[in-house]
Amino acid sequence: MSRLAVAVIAVLLAGCASSPALVSVSPSTSPVAAAASSAPPSPVPTAPPSDPPPPSATPRPTPTAVDYEDWTPIPGVIDTKLRWLAWSPDSRHLLVPRAEVGHSPAMDVFSAAGQLIQTITDFDEGLWLDSERLVLTRYGDEGEYVYNEMRQPEGATSYLAQLGSDHVEALGENLAASRSSGAGALAVPTCWICRPNVGFYREVAFRTWTVEDGFSEALRGHAIRWSRGGDRVLVEHPLQSGPARDSWWETLSYPDMTRFARGGGLLNADLTRTVRISSAESSVARVTDLVSRETLDLPVPFDDFHVQWDASGSLLVNDRIGSAALMGMDGQLRGQWANVGHITPFSSSDDETTHVLWFDETVESTGDLAIVRHGALSRVHIPGQLYNGAGSVAPAPDGSVLAVMAYVDQRAAVLLVAL
């Protein structure tokens, strides 16, 4: 045997004597598993840190009891698209439009104290013919609302309803968009939009209507409003189309429809006197008696102001920053108040005894309403957010009750308060 072979055998024998026992591998164990079992134990893997659990949903706030103070809430959901509240001429009942999803249009009649008197369904428009009767109109499939005004009511049909009765009588006439005298007569427009490309001012006209006599002959002009007693009607004669148009005005006596007086401006409830801001001086109110044609210039303590007639024969003047004053025809101030808000053409009672002022520049009109009633100032607090827009503040014709549209607990509501 060579020396190299002997050396190799010696090395192998030495290695066998010093090596540890071999690991037994069963037939069912793979070499990979066997190798893994002979390796030092690896650390047990841990799951990666998970995101923190999402916060639980904030529970809806439990409805809280609203402190209505002196207000009476009217139940139900109002139609804020229409934004009108209609008092009966005797101030005893209020007509309220409803918004019922998936149902026909509806109106409710409430007493001045807030009790439901009756519900009227399937009619789109309602107005008081007098204190006991309503004229209801169904527009039909051709009607649609555009900017809160009814368009295309040419196919409408009207009905007569009695307060507190479910019976309605078909009138066979279209009395949509009429103006009521409150004493049984309507001024009905002969065209609501008139013919395209002809011009509103060229063909605007109206007829009067009563249950007993039906329609009168058509008269040129646009009937704007009736006098408080229903014995006169103010008529605009447009000289051009558009909302900011030149017109001339006259007052007609009813029922003979003869001219009582000519002249525009802001007329009082009887349509006998008018007031305009002087064109020469912005702080002067010019009062004209439409019968005698006598004029009177009254200096106003504000440079930029609005004006409203008061039942005492005085003028309620109101400036841009929300101050107001009651001024007699002798130029003397009967009262002056700061930070009361603004008057609007729709926020005075028909008898001019009561005026409601508030700050309406912002959408979120909250807080107090200022009430000037019989020359004295008081305030009422709204338990919510006033719904801005014409018709959202509606004093009764005699000023004894105030109705407002407001958001209370995030819902539109009608509220009543006695004044």
Phi, psi of 262 (to 5 degrees): -120, 140
Parallel, antiparallel, or unpaired for β 93-98 and 205-210?
unpaired
| Cβ-defined contacts of 164-172 (< 8 Å, 24+) | 164/117, 164/118, 165/118, 166/118, 168/136, 171/135, 171/211
Question: Of the candidates 92, 75, 174, 189, which has an alpha carbon nearest to the alpha carbon of residue 131?
Answer: 92
Strand order in the sheet with 222-226: 222-226, 232-238, 247-253, 259-262
CA distance 153 to 141: 9
Q: How many helices (H) and strands (E) does the chain have?
A: 3, 34
pLDDT tens digits in sequence order for the chain, 419 residues long: 444 343 333 433 344 333 333 222 233 333 333 333 444 444 444 444 444 444 333 333 344 456 678 899 987 766 656 567 899 999 999 999 886 545 677 889 999 999 999 999 888 889 999 999 999 998 765 544 433 344 446 678 999 999 999 899 999 998 988 999 999 999 998 875 554 445 566 778 999 999 999 999 999 999 999 999 999 999 999 887 766 678 899 999 999 999 999 999 999 999 999 999 876 567 899 999 999 999 999 999 888 888 999 999 999 999 989 999 999 999 999 999 999 999 987 899 999 999 999 887 554 455 689 999 999 999 999 888 887 666 789 999 999 999 998 888 878 889 999 99
Cα 201 versus chain centre, distance: 29
- Closest CA relative to residue 83, chosen from 359, 387, 366: 387
Question: How are the residues of the chain apportioned to helix, strand and coil, as percentages rounded to the nearest 5?
Answer: 5, 40, 55
pLDDT at 213: 97
Query: What was the pLDDT predicted at 45?
Result: 46
Collapsed DSSP state (helix, strand, coil) of residue 27: coil
The candidate with the shortest Cα–Cα distance to 380, out of 401, 362, 364, 410, is 401
